[in-house]
Each structure stands twice: as C-alpha cells, then as structure tokens.
Chains A and B, each alone.
Chain A
Amino acid sequence: MAATELAPAPPSGSVIARAPRERTSAWPLIDRIGYYMCWAVGIGLCLIALAIVLFMFVKGISYLRPSLLLHSPAPSVVQSQSGGFLDPIEGTLLVAAIGTVLAAPLGVAIAAWLSEYRRPAWLARAVESAIEIISGAPSVVLALFGLLIFAQSFLGFLSQRAATGAVYGRSFFAAGAVMSVLALPLIVSSAREGFAQLPDRLREASYALGRTRATTIRRVLLPAIRPDIATGTALGMGRIVGDTAIITILLGAGLTIQPVGHTPVSSLLRGTGPTLTSYVYENSPAGEGLAPQKAYAAAFVLLLIVLALNAFVTWLTNRGAQPRERGRAYRLLRFEWIPWTR
C-alpha cells in the first residue's frame, strides 16, 4: 500500500486529464456519500423489481398447469378439485373490453373538445378539474358510487332484479362502466398530448381546403394521433386489468360466471363473475379460498397480461419517438405514461 502511495505520479501525458470535479474521489466526503447513496438506491430498485418478477415467475411456473387455464373454478377445499381459472380470465377480458369500448370514444371526444374547442373557457377549466378529480379519486370510492347508480330501479335492465323488485346493481356491465371512468383520465391526457403536438399547419391546411373544424378533427387530426390514442387505451386497460376494488364491489366474489337471463350477449353483460384480480384476492389468505398456489398461478397470468400491455406501450412510443438518449437531451418523456403522474 505504502509503495503505491509513494510512487511518483505518472507523467501527465499518459493519463486523460480530467477536471477535479469530475473525479468523485476528490469530492468532499458528504458529497461522496450522496453519490454512493444514489447508486445504492438505483441498484436497489433494480434488484427489488427483479426480485418481484423472478419470484412471481418461479411461483407462477411451478404452480401453473395448462389445465388450470382451461377449467372453471369449483368450490372445494381440496386443491386438486377446486378447478382452474378459466372464468376469471374470461371475466378480466370482458371487463377490460367493456371498459375500453366505453372509455376510448368518450376520452378521445373529451380530449378533442378540450384541445380544439375549449369554449366557454370556464367550462373547459371545470371539465379539466373534473378529470383531475377522477384521476385522484380512490377506486373504492368510484366503486361505491357505481354501485349506487346501478342499483337505481330504472337501470335494473343492466343487472339482476330480485323477486322483491330491488335492483342488485352488480353486473359485468356495471363493473366495466365504472372501470371506464378509471381509464378515462389516461386516455384523455394521452390524446390531448397528441393534439398538442400536432403542428398548426395541419389544421390550417385543412381549413384552407374549406373543411369545417369537425371534419378537420375527424379526417385529419384523429388519424394523426392514432398512436397516442392507442397508448392511452393500453394504459387504461392496464389500470382496468389491475384493479380489484371495483371488481369485488361491483361483481361480488363469485367463483364462476353467472349469466342472467337467456339472451346471448345481454345475459353475460348482466351477469356476475370473477376476474383474475378478484380470484387472486379470494384465494389469498386475505380472502376465503386459502389456496396460495392458485393465487400465485393466477397472479402470474395477471402479471403477464400487465407486462404485455406495458411492452405494447413501450413499442408504440418508441416507434414514434426519435432516439434521444444522448446526454441531457434525454427528457425521460416516457415516464409521462405512468398512471397518476398526469
């Protein structure tokens, strides 16, 4: 050790000269502590994410059997007889479809109005705050409100009616509709971002050709922001697929899909059933199922769906964006589609 300390400094020509502030070893101790803590936190986060994903993969793969995906759940204490989670997967897809079908057109319409019309201004401001309130509102509260609405007697055709005439208020349609409220802010803000980034010459060229504002939006602007709409929709789906509170409150905790009535589509929409999230919850020690293996396997499938949606969004945004990862120009733009940051 002493030898290296006493050794003469190498000739200055042979090393790359760096300013003292570039070398962390020359920093005051407190700065160096901060610097190393930054590294520790960064690496720590990577490790935590890795641990979560690896853990879920290991548990998922060790408990997941193809037959689980093809069989309906059955009420049984014995693990081998309690079936798989075909119904929850169908339920998740159904709720995601209903929610997206309702939220996407509505969200795009509101975004178009907010970006292109905005008149009267106070109304636009009020609508903006309303959207902000939904994006901050806890999903349990949304679910309670949804149950209240769908239990009104004139909406009885959307769910089940008891013999006494009381309306149940629980159905796939109700859950999907409340989920669409959850997805709405994400779609609105993606679409608005898309509208904001379109150059004005696009609109002006369209006006110059004698098109009205409505036609311009429909024929010129909407096709141009299609990737943004897709991003918003995928994000919204991610939130819908991952939500548990709305499902448990608006669909109950049944194990299988229970249609109401006999008309093909409406019986399903009016019916109740599980989704992957409620299935995981019910099978965890917090629910009643007490089948952690099944919960792990279903959670793994859920995680795969979420990761696929995530990858889809990444692909969509990377396709359009220029590679800007050099130095400070890298603006971390892609974070803007984490829910709640908008």
Chain B
Amino acid sequence: MLGALAVAVLVLIGAMLVTVLIKAWPSFSHNGLSWFGPGGDVDTQIRAMAESKPLPGHSLYYFRGWPLIWGTLLTTVLAVLIALVVSMLAAIFLTEFAPPAVRRVLDPVIRLLAGVPSVIYGLIGILVIARYIDNHWISNARRASVNYVVQLNGNDVMTATLILTLMILPIMVAITASALASVPGAWREGSLALGVNRWRTVWRVSLRTARPAIAAATVLATARALGEAVMLAMVSGGRGFAPNLLDGVTALFEPVRPLAATIFQNHEGLTIPVLAHTIYAMAAVLLVSAGMLSFAAWFAKQRFNRYGIRA
C-alpha cells in the first residue's frame, strides 16, 4: 500500500518531466539549437506568438532565448558569487567567533531571512531599493548614454542581484554552518595545539574539510536562484533585455529578465498553442538545469560523507 503511494509519486514526477519535455519539443524542433542563441528582441517574438502574426521572414515558432538565458546566468552567477563569500564568513562567524548571545540572535535571523516570502522581497525591491537606485545611483549621463537602446529606471541587474543574494544566503549559511560544526573537534584541536591561531585553524582545517558541503550549498543555492520567478518578475521591469557587459558599470543598471520570471509574466499566453510550446520550452530548460544541479549537490555531499561526517 505504502509502496504503491511511493510509486504513484514517482510516476507523477516522471510524467512531469516527460510532459514538459514533450510540450517543449515543437519549440526546440522549429528553432534547433538557435533557440539558445541571440537574435532579435524576445518580447517582440513573444508578442508575435501571442497575436499569431509571424515575424516577417520567420515561422511563427521563431524564438531566440539568449537574452533570457543571459539574464538568468548573470543574476544567478553574480548572486551566488556574492553569497558564497558572505555565507562563508557568516558561517565561520556563527560556528566559531560569535559569542553565545549573538549566536542566539543570528540563528533566528537566518531562519527569518529564509522564511520571508519572495513576493515580500519583491515588494521591498520594487518600492524601496529600485527607487533608491533610480534616484541616487543612476546619473543622468549614464541614463543618456544608453537611452537609444534602453531606459534605466532602477529595475535592474543590481536590484535583482542584491535581493537574490539575500534570498539564497540563508540556504548557504545553513548548510555551510552545519558542515563547519560537524568537523571533528579533534582535527581543530590538533591544529590549535600546534599554535595555529583560531582564524587559520578555521581557514585551513574546518573550511577545507567542509569544502564538499560548501559546493553542495552553492549548487542548491544556484538551483533556488534559477527557479526564483516572482521576485525577479517584480524587479525586472518587464523587459527581456540582455545587459551588455561592454557598457561597463552601466550594465549593472540595465534591466534584466530571467527565464523563470518570463514564464511567470507570460502565463496568460498558455492558451495560445505556439506560445505555450515556447513557455514549456523555457520550463524544460529550467527543469533540466535544476535537475542537474540537484544531482551535482547529491554528488558533492557523497564526497563529504567519505570523511565519515554526516552533514
């Protein structure tokens, strides 16, 4: 009986993977690998599908997803890189240096940051941070320099990345901190007994032992960042634009809209078959990457288990 339930869940998940891929296939087969490449404005292509008016010289399925994929990569990689450094420091602080009183405060704080719904993060992002950046950080010269391609209004890479960092930080701190705490005390004491100071002990012994766990944390946080839709849809400004790194710092102030946010903003189009296939294709890209990341995290954890430490 219980086994049957478990099998039912397994079948459901299998069905999900298969259906999403099947529904996505027409979009991929019409565009080939160019689906992932650059070419034209994504929003125009989506609108063409929504109105069933193919763009001149192209089939109705014509779609070039690079701006969205680039947006996903940019926000995810930036957020994960910042969160990696910050979470390592926070985890070291939490397990090593924080006095018990501070630890008792920090512990619920991390859980609180993990528990805040993404729509609230989005609300703060769009009403506070985006406005602040718009008013204080974007100079008129900067606005004018890219005015011919895009308007800068604070709904940008910077806002998205900052909030995304805050959202994935708790996961990374939690995993890294439990890994640091589960490093055998004898290893650390051995290092301390040799006269190595506490910082170097953490750096050389604990952090090295916890490396696989940090890798797992990074991978899981990446999966979370990839899948974040609502917050990014709120702060993205509704424009599928690929920030141009050649613009230098200005790229940080250009709007961006990752894949998940695009799905979220275009879900009304699911009733239109061609657009639905395209949306499912985006979902398939997300699902496959998230699945691969889950597997990578599992793999990283296996390596940690080799030390005989369970984390």
Contact = CB atoms under 8 A, between A and B. Distances in A.
A302 B120 contact: yes
Nearest to A116: B2
A338 interface: yes
B286 A141 contact: yes
Nearest to B234: A286
Given A145-B16, A281-B122, A295-B123, A113 B181 contact: no
A75 interface: no
A316 interface: no
A27 B283 contact: no
Interface in B219-250: 220-221, 223-224, 226-230, 233-235, 238
Contacts of A145: 16, 19-20
A39 B227 CA distance: 31
Interface stretch (A3-11, A65-73, A78-86, A235-243): A235-243
Interface stretch (B51-59, B98-106, B140-148): B98-106
B3 A140 contact: no
Given A132-B298, A138-B290, A286 B120 contact: no
B124 A138 contact: no
A110 B110 CA distance: 29
Contacts of B229: 138-140, 244-245
Chain B interface size, under 10 / 10 to 19 / 20 to 34 / 35 or more: 35 or more
Interface residues of A, number: 93
A61 interface: no
Given A141-B287, A280-B120, 16 more contacts: A26-B197, A46-B105, A46-B109, A49-B109, A52-B116, A53-B112, A56-B124, A123-B7, A127-B9, A136-B293, A138-B283, A243-B118, A281-B119, A284-B234, A295-B123, A310-B108
Contacts of B286: 138, 140-141
Contact of B171 (A106, A144, A249, A338): A338
A121 to B, nearest CB: 12
B86 A130 contact: no
12 contacts: A38-B89, A45-B113, A130-B10, A132-B298, A145-B20, A181-B12, A243-B118, A285-B127, A303-B117, A310-B108, A330-B181, A335-B174
Contacts of B97: 35, 38-39, 42
B230 A281 contact: yes
A124 B10 CA distance: 10
Contacts of B217: 341
Contact of B123 (A31, A38, A137, A296): A296
Contacts of B226: 138
Nearest to A21: B197
A104 interface: no
B256 interface: no
Closest 10 CB pairs of A and B: A138-B227, A242-B117, A113-B2, A335-B174, A38-B93, A21-B197, A31-B199, A136-B294, A286-B234, A130-B13
B236 to A, nearest CB: 9
Contacts of A32: 199
A303 B109 contact: no
Interface of A: 20-22, 26-27, 31-32, 34-35, 37-39, 41-42, 45-46, 48-50, 52-53, 55-56, 106, 109-110, 112-114, 117, 119, 123-124, 126-127, 130-145, 147-148, 181, 184, 238, 241-245, 248-249, 277, 280-281, 284-286, 292, 295-296, 299, 302-303, 306-307, 309-310, 314, 325, 328, 330-336, 338-341
A245 B10 contact: no
Most chain B Cβ neighbours within 10 Å, of A42, A113, A184, A285: A42
A249 B233 CA distance: 14
A238 B267 contact: no
B247 to A, nearest CB: 25
B39 interface: no
Contacts of B106: 42, 45-46
A106 B178 contact: no
A176 B214 CA distance: 34
Contacts of A249: 264, 267, 270
B126 A285 contact: yes
Which of A35, A142, A286 is the most central at the interface, judged by chain B CB atoms within 10 Å of its CB? A286
B198 A41 contact: no
Contact of A37 (B89, B124, B178): B89
A123 B6 contact: yes
Interface in B111-137: 111-120, 122-124, 126-128
A108 B278 CA distance: 37
A307 B108 CA distance: 11
Contacts of B126: 284-286
